[in-house]
Structures are given as structure tokens and as C-alpha cells.
Chain A
Amino acid sequence: MLSPEELNVLLLSLKVSFWATACSLPIGMGAAWILARYDFPGKILVDGLVHLPLVLPPVVVGYLLLVTLNPNGSIGRMLSQVGIEIGFTWIGASVAAAIMAFPLMVRAMRLAFEMIDQRLELAARTLGASPLRMLLYISFPLAMPGIVTGTILAFARCLGEFGATITFVSNIPGETRTLPLAVYTLTQTPEGEAAAFRLVIISVLIALIALAISEVITRQAKARLGDQK
């Protein structure tokens, strides 16, 4: 059904998106929690920084990544000393995707944390739960629909990442050529349109599956939380 090249592109895309989402999940939850619950000097700045990738042209984000994380820069060299090659590798593609998807993830989770009835959290404290246990047993379960939505949104955004990726890690077959980059490449090739169309269909299918999964999980979580109006 799928040609080896198509399968390659698809698996690479899933790998890049999976790691981008998985690694940004704890950071995103932490950032969302802090932004939802704490007031501190410079909060507006942090909030702005988190949201920057949402409003900047993706190419600009890619360029900034290229400047700060390039293999010959100080950060790039430090990373390669511990065995992490970012420049022009799939890891770099993941970094680009993660940063582009981060604001979407944080926004959804922050909203969910803000919606939690804090009186329930206080009740849990008086019943003997430490702050960490309160998070694990009360806050996170209550925010679960939002956490799931944020994760799926971020994953979908990673799959669709184009501008920052191509600017930061280029368009290398088998390494950084994800689905959108492959579609773009094919449309630039004479007589590549049929192949491009096949990839487009795959993209649509993945998107639909992701949405369906998100819907199912959210519904289950909501059912467990009871029918809260």
C-alpha cells in the first residue's frame, strides 16, 4: 500500500513528533501550572516568551534556532560533547517541532488548571495530602481533559511543522524530511503531484485519527469526572 519511501517519511514524522511531544509534556505541564497558579514579577515576560512561537513566523523561529543551536556555536558544541547532535538531524527537527507546538500545549493545560475548583485542593490538604499528592490525586486528574487536549494538539502541530524545521535542520531525506517537507519537495518536482497527493491523504488520515483518539480520551475523562455543568 505504501511505498518504502512513503513509509520512511511517515515513520520519521511520527518519531519526530512523538519525541517532541513526550519531552515537552512535563515542561509544558510545569509551565502551565506556574502560569495558572502563581503571580511573580516578570510573569508577563515568561507568558510572552511561551507564546512567541505562536505569533512569530515559523521561519524566524527556525532562524533563531539555527543561530543559537548551530553545531559550531557554544551550545551546539556542548551538546555534541555529550553525544547529542542537533544540527541537521531528526533530533533538531524534534526540537523545532517542540518549540513550535509548546504554546498550544501550555494554553490548553493552563486553562484546565485554572478551571479546577481550588476548594477541592484545599479540602485534600486538610485531609492529609501533601502538595505533591494533591497534584497527583486531585489536580491532575481533574485537569485531565485539558491535559489530553493539549498533548494531542501539540502532537498534531508537530506533525504539521514546516517552516522552522526546514530553516533549522534543512530538508534531508531520511533524516529531517518529515511529511510536510516531503509534500513540499514533491510539489516542486515535475510529475510529483500524484505522489504528493498520496502523502496529503496520509496526513489527513493521521489528523483524523489523532482527533478521534483525543475525543475518546476526553470523553472518558469527563465521564469519570461526572457530568459537571
Chain B
Amino acid sequence: MISLSLRKQLKNSLLNISFSSEETGITALYGRSGAGKTSLANMISGLLKPDEGFIRIENQLIFCSQKAIDLKPENRGIGYVFQEARLFPHMTVKDNLLFGTRFKRLESRPLSITEVVEVLGLTNLLDRRPDSLSGGEAQRIQLGRAILSHPKILVMDEPLSSLDQTRKQEILPLIERLRDEFNIPILYITHSMEEIIRLADRLLIIEDGSIAADGTVEELTGRLDLRPLTGRYEAGSVINSEVLEHDRHYGLTKLKFVGGILHVPLIDVEKKTQLRIRIRARDVSLSSTLPEKTSELNVFRGKVIEIAQPTQQNAAHADTLIDIGVPIWVRVTRLSIERLSLRPGIEIYASIKGTSVDRQSLAARKGIKAL
């Protein structure tokens, strides 16, 4: 869908980024503030000119310094969702939504306006003016406006970062629906791991102006060497699972994943729903023998992969990566490491508290295989 290789000297840093992404779905671009994420989005959409390189979208070169190709923003076919809503204040919501359809001659309109309006829940807002909207409403309208311009790809630059937690929770499922229902590839730029875990399939990490890591979300969040980059959120592991069955009597749901079956408090979704869940490192404990009488429902046998060196001397905890079919992070004290004589390769039992599944990352997944 998109492949690019760009160099750009910014005020304080050099941006040198190459990647290509063939799949539809959401590709997340993660980096700290000031890593040049917005500059990259601006270069892709044509608002900022790279020093050299190329950008290809669906086999069309929209920028190529060698061939002197530099399409104007209006000809690139890229839907740009900005951090702030940027609605046109002199137009109604409806006119804002239709703005991107005014200038494009398309043989067919693959998206109907009513459908987009409905999915985004804008029906009651159409006659309003932007100044009377809440931040969340405005951002929803911006999403609709970008999609209705029939882009080949949507570039979202931290679309949730100006919203409060409640509003974020209101928009996140909508972005998921856009991903699933309109089948437009999305490049999602963010510095929030939480959003990535919920939304993205593939993750690119920008560090010091270039791509430091590239892989699936599950892979990269489990990688020890990336912890300094991804570790800004609370340590945890991401695993894909499928709803096996519900035990309504005890209020539990059984989730099937590569390592076995996980019991979690009842989740009200249909059987076979694909779920991505996050297990926080501090909610896992280790023991060297199988605990016989324990309150824990979720005990898995595994192997120690690696023990992370604590960043501070004399730190109480050291994060340990163990393999229970999938790699998961465990937060244990250094004293326990010594007592259990943990070292890579040793067999171990991990107990995961049933309550520790992070509800916010319970994103329903389509097309992702748990096994």
C-alpha cells in the first residue's frame, strides 16, 4: 500500500526513514514527542518537502526526488486526520463532511455519505456549526471528512491526544470500525502504547530519526531490547486470544491462547471473538513447583527466557521474560530471583491473576488468529 524512503534535515535532527507496508489494517508509528512523527505525516501528505527520497502509494509515485516528482497535496489522495479537528468554522458539519467530495471526479463513490454518517454517529450533528461541538464530536467529524474524500490511505497524527480519557474511549471503537468496515489502510501515528495495543496490527518504532524496530505489536512489546522505547507505559505483555466459552454461574469467560486457557471475569462478547489482551507484569507471579492449593485459576508452565537488568542499582524489582507458549513479562523482586535461582532456560510456573486482564485493551479483533 505504502512504501517510502525519506531524508529530511529538521531544525534539530535528521529524519531518515524507510519502510513499506503492504497490508491493509492499521500500521502504528510510535515515537516520543519530538521524534519527527508529525514531520513524517506532513511529508507523506505533501505539506512538507523531503530533502530526498520517494513515497509510493498503491504503485504510484507521489514523490520522488530523483525523477523530480512532487505531487501537490490535493493530488496525492491521502486523507490526513490532524491532532486538532481543523473543521472549517464557516461551514455546517454537513458542508465540512462534504468538502473533500467537492473537487474529486470519481467514477464511483465507494462510500456512501449516509453510511459514514451513521457509523460515526453524526446524524444529529449535520446542521450544527463547528463552534457548538465538543472536542470528541469535532474529531469524529474530522474522521468522517477525511474518509469521505476517498483517500487511498488515511494518515492519522495523534488523533486522540487532544481529548480526555472519556472522549478517547468514545473515538477508539470508531477507528476500529473504520478499519474493519471501510477497508482503508491507516497509518496511525501516536506516542500512546495503549492506543497501539488496542488498534494496530503492525508497529514501527521511530527513534533518533529512523526506524528502530518494525514488527507485529505482539512481537515488539515482548522484546527486551525495545523496553527503553516501548516501556513508557506500564510493563506488560500483549497476547491474542479467542473466546472459548462463558461460565455464567461463576461469572467467568475462558479465553483460548497459544499457551492454554485463561480465565477472566465475564466479558460480554460472542464466542469465537478474537480478543487482544494485555497482561501487566506485576499481575504475574512465579513459583518453582506447581502450586497445589492456590486461589489462582491461571497457572501455566513455562521457561525463563531472559532477566532484564534493572536500570537502577539496588532496584527492588527486575522484569523477567518467560515463555508460556507466548512470551510474557513478569515483575519479580531481585530477592525472589535469587531464592528461586532464576536464570534463562529454567522451568517455572507462572500464575496470572484472573482479574489482571486489562479491560481497555480488550479490542475485538477481526482476522487475527489466536492459534
Tell me whether A and B are bound partners.
yes
**Which residue in chain B gives the minimum CB-CB distance to A126?**
B80
**Which residue in chain B gives the minimum CB-CB distance to A119?**
B86
Distance A122 CA – B155 CA, assembled complex (angstroms)? 14
**Is A228 a contact partner of B131 (Cβ separation < 8 A)?**
yes
**Which residue in chain B gives the minimum CB-CB distance to A226?**
B131
Nearest chain A CB to B109 CB, angstrom units: 14
A219 at interface, CB cutoff 8 A: no
A37 at interface, CB cutoff 8 A: no
- Looking at B70-78, B166-174, B234-242, B338-346, the stretch in contact with chain A turns out to be B70-78
Distance A123 CA – B42 CA, assembled complex (angstroms)? 11
A129 at interface, CB cutoff 8 A: yes
Distance A133 CA – B80 CA, assembled complex (angstroms)? 18
**Is B90 a contact partner of A226 (Cβ separation < 8 A)?**
yes
Distance A120 CA – B87 CA, assembled complex (angstroms)? 7
**Is A124 a contact partner of B82 (Cβ separation < 8 A)?**
no
Could you tell me which residues of chain A, from 123 to 153, have a CB within 8 Å of some CB in chain B? 123-130, 133, 137-138, 141-142
Distance A217 CA – B80 CA, assembled complex (angstroms)? 34
A225 at interface, CB cutoff 8 A: yes
Question: Range of interface residues on chain A?
Answer: 20 to 34
**Is A125 a contact partner of B145 (Cβ separation < 8 A)?**
no
Could you tell me which residues of chain B, from 44 to 100, have a CB within 8 Å of some CB in chain A? 45-47, 72-74, 76, 78-80, 82, 84, 86, 88-90, 99-100
**Is A226 a contact partner of B86 (Cβ separation < 8 A)?**
no
Chain B CB within 10 Å, residue with most, of A122, A123, A137, A224: A123
**Is A126 a contact partner of B79 (Cβ separation < 8 A)?**
yes
**Which residue in chain A gives the minimum CB-CB distance to B80?**
A126
**Is A125 a contact partner of B47 (Cβ separation < 8 A)?**
yes
B103 at interface, CB cutoff 8 A: yes
Given that A122-B73, A126-B80, A141-B90 are contacting pairs, would A226 and B130 also be in contact in the complex, using a CB cutoff of 8 Å?
yes
**Is B99 a contact partner of A226 (Cβ separation < 8 A)?**
no
**Is B79 a contact partner of A124 (Cβ separation < 8 A)?**
no
Nearest chain B CB to A134 CB, angstrom units: 8
Q: Which residues of B contact A125 (CB under 8 A)?
A: 46-47, 72-74
Q: Which residues of A contact B79 (CB under 8 A)?
A: 126
**Is B89 a contact partner of A123 (Cβ separation < 8 A)?**
no
Q: Give the tally of cross-chain contacts (CB within 8 A).
A: 68
Given that A119-B82, A226-B131, A227-B131 are contacting pairs, would A126 and B45 also be in contact in the complex, using a CB cutoff of 8 Å?
yes
Type the 1/0 row for B309-335, where 1 means its CB is closer than 8 Å to any CB of A.
Answer: 000000000000000000000000000
**Is A129 a contact partner of B74 (Cβ separation < 8 A)?**
yes
Q: Which residues of A contact B47 (CB under 8 A)?
A: 122, 125-126
Distance A226 CA – B138 CA, assembled complex (angstroms)? 14
Q: Which residues of A contact B232 (CB under 8 A)?
A: none
Distance A126 CA – B102 CA, assembled complex (angstroms)? 13
Q: Which residues of B contact A225 (CB under 8 A)?
A: 89-90
Chain A CB within 10 Å, residue with most, of B76, B88, B130: B88
**Is B103 a contact partner of A128 (Cβ separation < 8 A)?**
yes
Given that A124-B88, A126-B80, A141-B90 are contacting pairs, would A226 and B129 also be in contact in the complex, using a CB cutoff of 8 Å?
yes
Distance A197 CA – B220 CA, assembled complex (angstroms)? 86
Distance A125 CA – B132 CA, assembled complex (angstroms)? 24
Name the contact of A128 in the complex, choosing from B84, B90, B130, B149 (C-beta under 8 A): B149
**Is A129 a contact partner of B45 (Cβ separation < 8 A)?**
no
Q: Which residues of A contact B78 (CB under 8 A)?
A: 126
**Is B90 a contact partner of A224 (Cβ separation < 8 A)?**
yes
Name the contact of A127 in the complex, choosing from B84, B90, B129, B149 (C-beta under 8 A): B149
Type the 1/0 row for A206-229, where 1 means its CB is closer than 8 Å to any CB of B.
Answer: 000000000000000000111110
Can you give 20 A-B contacts (C-beta < 8 A)?
A119-B84, A120-B88, A120-B89, A123-B82, A124-B88, A124-B99, A125-B74, A126-B45, A126-B73, A126-B74, A126-B80, A126-B149, A127-B74, A128-B149, A129-B102, A137-B102, A141-B90, A225-B89, A226-B129, A226-B130
8 nearest A-B residue pairs (beta carbon): A226-B131, A127-B100, A125-B73, A126-B80, A123-B86, A128-B103, A226-B89, A128-B74
